[in-house]
C-alpha cells in the first residue's frame, strides 16, 4: 500500500501554519454536517483543537496530493496523520496506514454483520 498524501488548508483561519513542523501528529475527523462541503474533514492538533481542513478543491490541493473527497471513504470517522512539508501555500501531510487498515477491517466486519 503506497502512502497517501493530502493538503492541509485553511490554517490562516485558525492558528496559522508557523507552528507546524514535519513529523507533527494530527487527527482527522469527518464533518458530515458541514454546510459547505459534505465531504469535509477537519484537522485537529492535540492541545489546539481545530487547525484547518483537508483541501477539497482544485484551488487548494497541492500537486498530486489527495483531496478530502478522494480519502473520505478510505478512512473511518476519524484518522491519524502527520505533517510532511510546510509551505506558504499549504501543508502536505501523510495519512497513517493504520487508519486505512483499521477502516478496511471495520468495513469488512460491517459487511459480514449484514
Burial class (CB in 10 A: 0-12, 13-18, 19+), 102: middle
Give per-residue pLDDT as tens, 98-110.
Answer: 887 777 666 666 6
Distances in Å between the Cα of 82 and the Cα atoms of 25, 35, 37, 86 are 4, 27, 23, 11
- Domain extents for the chain? 5-103
| pLDDT tens digit sequence for 6-63 | 999 999 999 988 999 999 999 999 999 999 999 999 999 999 999 999 999 999 999 9
- CATH 3.30.70.2330 correct for 5-103: yes
Q: Within a 10 A sphere around the Cβ of 44, how many other Cβ atoms? A: 16
Contact, 93 vs 81, CB < 8 A? Answer: yes
Amino acid at each position: 500500500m503506497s502512502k497517501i498524501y493530502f493538503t492541509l488548508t485553511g490554517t490562516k483561519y485558525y492558528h496559522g501554519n508557523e507552528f507546524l513542523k514535519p513529523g507533527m501528529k494530527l487527527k482527522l475527523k469527518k464533518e458530515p454536517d458541514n454546510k459547505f462541503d459534505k465531504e469535509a474533514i477537519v484537522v485537529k492538533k492535540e492541545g489546539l483543537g481545530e487547525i484547518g481542513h483537508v483541501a477539497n478543491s482544485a484551488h487548494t490541493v497541492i500537486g498530486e496530493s489527495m483531496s478530502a473527497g478522494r480519502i473520505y471513504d478510505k478512512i473511518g470517522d476519524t484518522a491519524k496523520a502527520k505533517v510532511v512539508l510546510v509551505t506558504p501555500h499549504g501543508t502536505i501531510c501523510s495519512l497513517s496506514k493504520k487508519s486505512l487498515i483499521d477502516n478496511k477491517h471495520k468495513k469488512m466486519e460491517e459487511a459480514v454483520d449484514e
